[in-house]
Structure 1
């Protein structure tokens, strides 16, 4: 499937937020270090210009290769912004390919699998954030699942509490209707081409109920399995120097 088979609709992000203001070890995370978002390949020129005006210098794309090939990079691809494609899942279907019902609990299990199986990509992403000259924006399609896993890894490295990580993750909940509308032009045809029926598998239920269950499940499972939830990343090369650099940049005025 390519851009020739679907209509690409550019629009402003509906789930974009700077992580600034979250309590971390030693103070409060400053604005302008890390921005999480829904699909930045679909942004309008005006939205791209606004991101650049706010200091954007790097984009981390957590989507699968299939997703990235469909949309390309959009208006940001023509700007002086470094681009890092670091897929957290090789197959966008994730647990759906085994017919697993999509619930907040099963999403939490999927997040654990991302941390354990894509630890190298997460380490690379943290290194980008640590060394980018300006702000780094990271995104998947909805800005919830894969983006939420990287946001959690970053906040853990910065010494944020589990409660504050969950609060940030759950801020996506009221945006879900707008997210589903915005991503439908790409994700609908893509999943259909792979034989997936999102509604049949319970995808609509993910827009309802207590989203925080997923992130609490991930953090709890990682602590139970590894003690330190960042241990899979440490095993994949996350260094104390990178963590120190992240904390230095996060607290800089």
Structure 2
């Protein structure tokens, strides 16, 4: 895996470009075709200017309508927004949060996160045609984001990278960068997460449980992969079923967005 792009975007904690990630065939992702981030509502003129310099055409927002209303993106007029609303924060779903409520400790937090990732493939599936449509119609570079840029964005980006021919170990390594980015975020972000989780379960949440929720562990993403394999047989089959891209379609996608340079 190449070194991550050293890009700073004031107002975000988990922003990066996937430029240059290697594919199986020796080619790499061309330019800033795909970028990822956490929420964008804190961006100012400078931040939006950086995205313009990077050539971003579309912002794909995976957050819920409620999240949009609380923290709107307020995109500049020249940027197109695709709001897919993959789901709200599943951790607020009682059937998911009950895992932590019943066991407000590290084990409960881990159980909740595994359940979140088991649900992600099904939640994303109906939105994949529109997401891949951005690449088919050339509305790229595209910036994909959610609230933390870790769970919903993490799986969505993993699917796109697989379609582009990036190896799973490289995809997982990029996913893990979110753990370091979030860990480096300011104390206010961590305190906010602790407060949100404590309010959700109705009691103080131990630090180790909050850490597990904020982490980007390979086994979390592997849980989503396992779910795909169980229900579709493979990631290729998942993409073909949900998007309609067969081997020929994937080749065309890669020829368009990979470079040998």
TM-score by length of 1: 0.79
SS in 1 for 2:70: helix
SS in 2 for 1:41: coil
SS in 2 for 1:60: strand
Question: 1:213 is matched with which residue?
Answer: 219
Q: How many residues align?
A: 240
For residues 1-253 of structure 1, the aligned pairs below 5 Å read 11-26=10-25, 27-74=27-74, 77-92=75-90, 93-94=92-93, 96-100=96-100, 101-103=108-110, 106-179=112-185, 181=187, 199=205, 202-207=209-214, 211-240=217-246, 243-252=250-259
Distance of 1:82 and 1:169 partners within structure 2: 25
Task: Give the C-alpha shift of residue 61 in structure 1.
Answer: 0.2
Instruction: Decide which moves more: 24-33 or 137-146.
Output: 24-33
Q: 2:96 touches 2:115 (CA, 8 Å); kept in 1?
A: no
Q: 1:130 to 1:107 in 2, by over 3 A?
A: farther
Q: 1:125 to 1:164 in 2, by over 3 A?
A: same
Residue deviations 1:39-58 (CA, integer Å, cap 9, x gap): 12321221111011110100
Distance of 2:164 and 2:205 partners within structure 1: 37
Distance of 2:214 and 2:193 partners within structure 1: 16
Q: 1:107 to 1:249 in 2, by over 3 A?
A: farther
Higher relative contact order (CA 8 A, sep 6+): 1
Question: 1:6 is matched with which residue?
Answer: none
SS in 1 for 2:57: strand
Q: 1:115 touches 1:233 (CA, 8 Å); kept in 2?
A: no
Q: 1:115 to 1:246 in 2, by over 3 A?
A: same
Q: 1:12 touches 1:44 (CA, 8 Å); kept in 2?
A: yes
Distance of 1:123 and 1:157 partners within structure 2: 13
Distance of 1:249 and 1:126 partners within structure 2: 13
Task: Give the C-alpha shift of residue 173 in structure 1.
Answer: 1.4
Q: 1:71 to 1:158 in 2, by over 3 A?
A: same
Distance of 2:31 and 2:204 partners within structure 1: 36
Task: Give the C-alpha shift of residue 131 in structure 1.
Answer: 2.4
Task: Give the C-alpha shift of residue 114 in structure 1.
Answer: 1.6
Q: 1:130 touches 1:245 (CA, 8 Å); kept in 2?
A: no
Question: 2:105 is matched with which residue?
Answer: none
Which runs of no fewer than 5 residues in structure 1 stay unpaired?
1-9
Distance of 2:82 and 2:194 partners within structure 1: 25
TM-score by length of 2: 0.77
Distance of 2:67 and 2:50 partners within structure 1: 24
Instruction: Decide which moves more: 16-25 or 78-87.
Output: 16-25
